[in-house]
Structure 1
Amino acid sequence: RQQVTIGLGSGSSYFIEVGAFALMTLYAAQLGTAETAAWAIVLNISAIVFMIPMGLSSATAVLVGRAYGARDPRGVLRNGLVGVGVVTALTLIVALVVWPSAPLLIGAYNRDPALAVIAIPALVLATLFFVADGIQVVAAQANRAAGDVWWPTIMHFTAYGAIMMPLGWWLSQAFGVDGLVWAVIIASLVSSTLLTGRFVRVARRLDHVFSKT
C-alpha cells in the first residue's frame, strides 16, 4: 500500500509538470513558428540537463530511505541535504558550461539566423533555472523517501500549476520566449524553496516521532 501511495504521489507530480509544460508549448505556438521552434530547442536541451538531477534524485531517495528505515532522523537529514548539495554543484557547473556554449548548441539544432536570435538568449536565460530545477526534484524525492508523499505534489501544483501556467501566458505576451523561460525560473525557485524547507522540517520532526515509538 505504501508503494502504491508513493507511486501515486510521484505520478501526480509528473502529470502536473508535464501538463504545465505542454501548456507552455501552446503559449509558444501562439507567438509564431520561430518562437515555437526556439522554445522546443531550449526545452529539449533543458530536458537533457535534467537527466543529471533525475539520477541524483533516485540515489538520494535510496539513501534517505535507508536512513528512514533505520529510524535515523539525522541520517535522513544528512543524506537529503548532501543530495541537494551535490545536485547544486553539478547543475551549477553545467549551467556555466551551457551559458557560453549557447550559440554552438543552438547551431547544432538549426542554423537559421532568425531562429538563433530568439533561441540563443532564451537558452542563456534558461541556465538560471538549472540549479533550482535540480534542487526541487532531489528535494521532492527526499521528502517522499522520508514518508512525506503528498506535500511535494501539492507544492509542485502550486509552483507549476498555480504560478507558472498563468505567469507564462502573461510574460510571453510581453517578452516572447524569454517570458516563458522567466516563468519557469520563478516556478523552479518557488518549488525548490518550498520542497527543501519542507524536507528539513520533515527530517527534524522524525527525531520526535521516532523517539516516541
Structure 2
Amino acid sequence: MKRSSYLLSLLQNKEHLSFRQQLQLTVLLSIPAIIAQFSSIAMQYIDASMVGSLGAHASASIGLVVSSTWLFWGICTTVAAGFSVQVAHRIGANDRKGARAILRQAIISTLLFSLVLVAIGAVVAPRLPYWLGGDNSIAADASKYFLIFILSLPALQLNFLASGMLRSSGNMHIPSALNVIMTILDVIFNFFLIFPSRELHVLGFSLHVPGANLGVVGAALGTAIAYFVTAVLLLSYLITKDKNLRLTKEKGSFRPQKNILKKALKISFPMTLEHTVIMGAQILSTVIVAPLGVASIAANSFAITAEGLCYMPGYGIAEAATTLVGQSFGAQRKHLAKRFAYITVFLGMLVMSVMGAIMYFAAPLIMRFMTPDTEIISLGVMALRIEAFAEPMFAASIVAYGVFVGAGDTLVPSIMNFSSIWAIRLVLAAILAPVMGLRGVWIAMCIELCFRGAIFLFRLFKSKWLNEMPVT
C-alpha cells in the first residue's frame, strides 16, 4: 500500500514514471481490485450453490430474476461512477478539498436516487416473474427474492459509492478487504437463514445448528444483511480514516451543486442508459431461455454465475484502469494515460485468457459444486466451454471500457456496448435457440463478445478518447 501511494504521488506531482514503475503500479492496484471482484462473484456463487442444494425449482426461481437484479445493481454502480470519476480527476490535480466537496454531494444524491429505485422495484416485484415467462411453481419465490434485493438497494448504493471513492483516491486495499468480509458474512447469514435446524456431525461430535428454514428468501435476506454491514464499515472508513477524502478534515455543505451534478450526469447517464439497455437484453435472453424448461433456466443462471469467476479479474483490472487513467487526466498527463490504457488492456486479456482455459477444463467440477442435478450440470458445462473461447476479447471490451470511463468518455463506448448486444447477440440467440436450445444462446453470446472486443480495441488504438482531457 505504501509503494502504490508513493507511485501515485509521482503521477500526481508530474514526476517521471518508468515503464517498470507503470507496470508495478498497475499490478499493485489491480490485485486488490481483482480480489474484491472475486468476492463479489463468490457471493452469487455461494447463494447459487446453497440454494441449488434445495432443488431445481429453487435454483430456477433465482435464475429467473437474476438479470433483473443485475439491472438495478448496475444502475447503482453507474450512478456512483458519475461522482467517483470526478474525484479521481480532482485527486490527480492535487485538489483534495474539491474531491471532498464532491463526495459530500455524492452521498446525498446517490442515496436519494436509490430510494427512487426502491419504489420502482417494489411496484414491479409481484408481476415480474410472470413477465419473464416463469410459471406458478417458481413465481412466488422469485418475486420474494427480487423484492428483498430491491429493499437492500440503499445499502448497496452506498457500498458502491464508498468503494468507488476509495479506489478513485488510489486506496484499493480497504474495499477489497471489506468485500471479502462481506462474502464471509453472506456465507454465515445464509447458513442460518436458508436451512432448517439440523444436526451436524463433525469428527465424531454431534452439533445442533439452529436454522430459519427460509430457503430462497433466506438467501436474499442473508445477502441483504451482508450488504448493509459492509456499507456501514466502508462509509465509516471513508468519512473518518481515508487520508484524501475523510470528511472530518473540514466542514462543508452536503447540498448538491448544479455544476457537480451536471458533470456526474454527463458521465453516468450514458453508462446508466447503456446498462439499462444491456440488462434489458439480458432479461430478453431470459425470456428466450424460459421456454426451454426449468433445467435450462437453472443451467443458464448457474453458468452465468460461474463464468463470473473467469471475467471478474477483468473487471478488477478495469477498476485499476479507471483510477490510473482518471488521475493521469487530472494531472494533465496524456501520454501517461495512453500508456496505462495499453498496459491494463493487455494485462486483462492475458489474465482472462488463462482464466478461460481453466474454466474450460474445470467446468464439470464447477457445475457439480453448484448443483447435484445431472441434467443441469451437463447443460452448464456445455455453456461454460463455449464461453471460454470468448474470454480474451471479452477482457478487451471490459478493460478498455474502464479506460474510457477514467477519461470521462462514456457516450460512444456505451452505444458500442448495447448496440453489439442487441444487434448481434439477441438476433443470433433468437434464431439459434429454437433450433439448438441453450447451446444456441451461448454460441450467440460467444460470437458477440468477440465482436465487441474487436471494436473496443479499434477505438482504443485510434486514441480519440484522449480528446476528452480537460484543459486547465
TM-score normalised per structure 2: 0.42
1:133 and 1:192 in contact (8 A); partners too: yes
1:103 and 1:120 in contact (8 A); partners too: yes
Q: What CA distance in whole angstroms lies between the structure 1 residues aligned with 2:277 and 2:290?
A: 20
2:407 and 2:466 in contact (8 A); partners too: no
Please name the residue that 2:407 is paired with.
Answer: 146
1:53 and 1:138 in contact (8 A); partners too: yes
CA deviations over 1:45-100 (Å, ceiling 9, x no partner): 12343322222111101111222223332212211111111111111111111111
Please state how far the C-alpha of 1:205 moved relative to its aligned partner: 5.9
Please name the residue that 2:312 is paired with.
Answer: 51
Give 1:164-179 correspondences, 5 Å limit: 164-179=425-440
* Structure 2 counterpart of 1:75, one-letter code: L
Q: 1:204 to 1:130 in 2, by over 3 A?
A: closer
Residue from 264, 277, 292 that aligns with 1:3: 264
Q: What CA distance in whole angstroms lies between the structure 2 residues aligned with 1:149 and 1:170?
A: 31
Please name the residue that 1:155 is paired with.
Answer: 416
1:146 and 1:203 in contact (8 A); partners too: no
Q: What CA distance in whole angstroms lies between the structure 2 residues aligned with 1:90 and 1:8?
A: 30
Please name the residue that 1:67 is paired with.
Answer: 328
Please name the residue that 2:358 is paired with.
Answer: 97
Cα-Cα RMSD: 2.2
Please state how far the C-alpha of 1:125 moved relative to its aligned partner: 1.0
1:35 and 1:177 in contact (8 A); partners too: yes
CA deviations over 1:99-134 (Å, ceiling 9, x no partner): 111111111112222222322121111212222222
Please name the residue that 1:117 is paired with.
Answer: 378
- Tell me, yes or no, if structure 1 residue 33 matches structure 2 residue 289: no
Q: What CA distance in whole angstroms lies between the structure 1 residues aligned with 2:462 and 2:271?
A: 20
Q: What CA distance in whole angstroms lies between the structure 1 residues aligned with 2:274 and 2:457?
A: 16
Please name the residue that 2:453 is paired with.
Answer: 192
Please state how far the C-alpha of 1:147 moved relative to its aligned partner: 3.5
Please name the residue that 2:397 is paired with.
Answer: 136
Question: Which 4+ runs in 1 deviate beyond 6 A?
Answer: none
* Structure 1 counterpart of 2:280, one-letter code: G
Structure 2: where are the runs of 5+ without partners?
1-261
Q: 1:116 to 1:154 in 2, by over 3 A?
A: same
* Structure 2 counterpart of 1:78, one-letter code: R
Q: 1:48 to 1:19 in 2, by over 3 A?
A: farther
* Structure 2 counterpart of 1:12, one-letter code: L
Please state how far the C-alpha of 1:174 moved relative to its aligned partner: 1.9
* Structure 2 counterpart of 1:143, one-letter code: F
Residue aligned with 1:148, SS: coil
Residue aligned with 2:332, SS: coil
Q: State the aligned residue count.
A: 211
Please state how far the C-alpha of 1:204 moved relative to its aligned partner: 7.8
* Structure 2 counterpart of 1:182, one-letter code: I
Higher helix share: 1
1:136 and 1:191 in contact (8 A); partners too: yes
2:404 and 2:413 in contact (8 A); partners too: yes
Structure 1: where are the runs of 5+ without partners?
none
- Quick one: higher RCO (CA 8 Å, sep 6+), 1 or 2? 1
Please state how far the C-alpha of 1:145 moved relative to its aligned partner: 2.1
2:318 and 2:399 in contact (8 A); partners too: yes
Please state how far the C-alpha of 1:149 moved relative to its aligned partner: 1.9
Please state how far the C-alpha of 1:206 moved relative to its aligned partner: 3.9
TM-score normalised per structure 1: 0.89
CA deviations over 1:11-34 (Å, ceiling 9, x no partner): 222222222122112211111222
Q: 1:47 to 1:17 in 2, by over 3 A?
A: farther
* Structure 2 counterpart of 1:124, one-letter code: R
Please state how far the C-alpha of 1:3 moved relative to its aligned partner: 2.6
Q: 1:131 to 1:16 in 2, by over 3 A?
A: farther
